[in-house]
Amino acid sequence: MLFSLKIARNIVSALVAFGALAEGFPGEVINTCALVDNANPIDLEPYDDGVKRSRANLAFIGGPGDSDAKVLDILNDYGIKGSFFLYSDDIDSDEKVQLVHRMVDEGHSIGSKGTKAMNLRYTNDTAIAAMLEESDERFEEVLGHIPKIFFPSFGSIDNRGRGILEKYGKTIVLWNSGANSWWTASNGIDRDTSVAVLRYTLPEAGGIMALESDSVADNGVLVEMLNQIMQYWEFVDFLTCIDRLDVDDGMVFATYEAYNRAVKNAAKRNGGAKSGKSEYMF
């Protein structure tokens, strides 16, 4: 049995090798969308000859909170699929659970920010591990699976923290635009200036724009920003943003547990080369 399990593991490893590298693997750091036109990355324009060639993902960080329902309404109005990176400690009521389920049902990606804001660079290994285990347990209760993508608070990450996240099967997501709406909102900056501060951080080649729901939803900033830039960038879900769809016939696994289940199933089939659909990345 041990020998057949080893053979099966090698078979599954070969099947998922490209997908594991291409779709995001534990310890990888992602902070932008893939270029749609890789032939001319230097000359890439957001809008060319009537075709949008630059992609962006709206990543809402923190929550779930009261403003997220409004964000979901806005995204639905514009036909946009975004991503929500949530604190597990904030999923503290039936209403919050229902809100997270709505995010999933409407096609948005769910990622983790851990239990609460924590600067990983100044937190010891034991505390980081305990935080990840607690948040993973709560997410599994709510979602039925553990999110693979992780957004470190404050964007604070070093090699030590990355190594711990890798052990827990996390792909690290950062950003290359936005992340300043909290400042404009808390300092009473007017809507037009707030929109400009956000939209002009987004590179021509696109990227991941980090936003705080309570800083952009109720004050009209998100709606006005989308009105100004929807014609230039294609706003897409997280997997489309990083161009990792259908890379290896579905043989990409969300977690080590999913991978190990596939290995055991392959061993039971005496080394069969195919399994069913891959489990959720998120």
Q: How confident is the model at residue 245, as a pLDDT?
A: 53
Q: How confident is the model at residue 185, as a pLDDT?
A: 85
Cβ(275)–Cβ(265) below 8 Å: yes
Q: How confident is the model at residue 6, as a pLDDT?
A: 46
Environment class of residue 7 by beta-carbon count within 10 Å: exposed (0-12), middle (13-18) or buried (19+)?
middle
Low-confidence ranges of the chain (pLDDT < 50): 1-23, 38-42, 44, 246-254, 271-282
* CA distance linking residue 113 with residue 83, whole number of Å: 12
* CA distance linking residue 220 with residue 205, whole number of Å: 25
> What are the tokens at 45?
């324009």
Q: What is the CA radius of gyration of the chain?
A: 20
- What sign does the CA torsion over 197, 201, 207, 208 have? negative
Token pair 């400042």 in the structure block, residue = 183
Three-class SS of residue 98? helix
Helices (H), 84-172: 94-105, 125-143, 159-167
pTM above 0.85, yes or no: no
In sequence order, the β-bridge partners of residue 58 are 209
Contacts of 27 (CB under 8 A, 6+ apart): 162, 163, 165, 166, 170, 171, 172
Q: Which of 148, 155, 196, 190 is CA-nearest to residue 28? A: 148
> What are the tokens at 89?
């400690």
* CA distance linking residue 139 with residue 123, whole number of Å: 22
- What sign does the CA torsion over 4, 275, 171, 34 have? positive
Three-class SS of residue 183? helix
In sequence order, the β-bridge partners of residue 210 are 59, 178
Cβ(31)–Cβ(9) below 8 Å: no
Helices (H), 168-220: 181-186, 191-199, 213-216
Cβ(182)–Cβ(215) below 8 Å: yes
* CA distance linking residue 162 with residue 172, whole number of Å: 8
Cβ(202)–Cβ(234) below 8 Å: no
Distance from the first to the final alpha carbon of the chain: 32
Q: How confident is the model at residue 42, as a pLDDT?
A: 45
* CA distance linking residue 188 with residue 171, whole number of Å: 35
Cβ(176)–Cβ(32) below 8 Å: yes
